[in-house]
């Protein structure tokens, strides 16, 4: 049986995202959802860092730059997307962040006109 990483914290995060959607619905930009979710995290006393800069370095050169929406409790990377499907670039962005910062788990949330969908991504190279 596979261990569920950060089961309780993941459940709390998912609950916060559903609360956000239930209160404001669909139709906003990712940045607006990010700000709303940050307010919910504060109320729920979930420690987070917002808009974290990341980069991929190869041969001492920066080959990619990106920003992650949230790092929760120094453990879980969270990315919000207003989209109808999980796209390769979304998964790649979160996996790159997990690898670069030696984290075990990332969660991508899709905010769609039909509700919230989410996908958990595990870092198979993690040694933390």
pLDDT value for 18: 98
Roughly how many angstroms between the first and final C-alpha of the chain, as a whole number?
21
pLDDT value for 101: 84
pLDDT value for 31: 96
What is the residue whose two structure tokens read 């990010």? 34
For the segment 99-128, what is each residue's pLDDT rounded down to a tens digit?
888 899 999 999 999 999 999 999 986 544
| Contacts (Cβ under 8 Å, ≥6 apart) of 60 | none
What is the residue whose two structure tokens read 């459940």? 11
Please check whether residue 105 is in contact with residue 5, taking contact to mean a CB–CB distance below 8 angstroms. yes
Burial code of 103-116, b = ≥16 C-beta within 10 A, e = fewer?
bbbbbbbbbeeeeb
- Separation CA 102–CA 77 (nearest Å): 11
Average the pLDDT over 85-100 and give the result.
88
**Rounded to an integer, what is the distance from CA 89 to the centroid of its chain?**
13
Average the pLDDT over 59-86 and give the result.
91
- Where are the domains positioned within the chain? 7-122
Residue 6, pLDDT above cutoff 50: yes
62 strand-pairing partners:
57
For the segment 9-59, what is each residue's pLDDT rounded down to a tens digit?
999 999 999 999 999 999 999 999 999 999 999 999 999 999 988 777 788
Query: What CATH fold (topology level) applies to the domain 7-122?
Result: Lambda Exonuclease; Chain A (3.90.320)
pLDDT value for 126: 53
- Separation CA 94–CA 101 (nearest Å): 11
């Amino acid at each position: 049986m596979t261990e569920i990483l950060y089961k309780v914290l993941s459940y709390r995060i998912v609950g916060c995202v559903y609360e956000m959607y239930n209160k404001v619905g669909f139709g906003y930009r990712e940045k607006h959802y990010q700000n709303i979710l940050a307010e919910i995290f504060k109320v729920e006393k979930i420690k987070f860092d917002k808009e974290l800069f990341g980069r991929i370095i190869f041969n001492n050169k920066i080959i990619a730059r990106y920003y992650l929406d949230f790092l929760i409790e120094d453990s879980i990377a969270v990315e919000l997307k207003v989209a109808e499907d999980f796209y390769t670039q979304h998964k790649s962005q979160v996996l790159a962040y997990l690898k670069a910062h030696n984290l075990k788990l990332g969660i991508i949330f899709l905010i769609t006109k039909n509700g919230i969908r989410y996908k958990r991504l595990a870092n198979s190279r993690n040694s933390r």
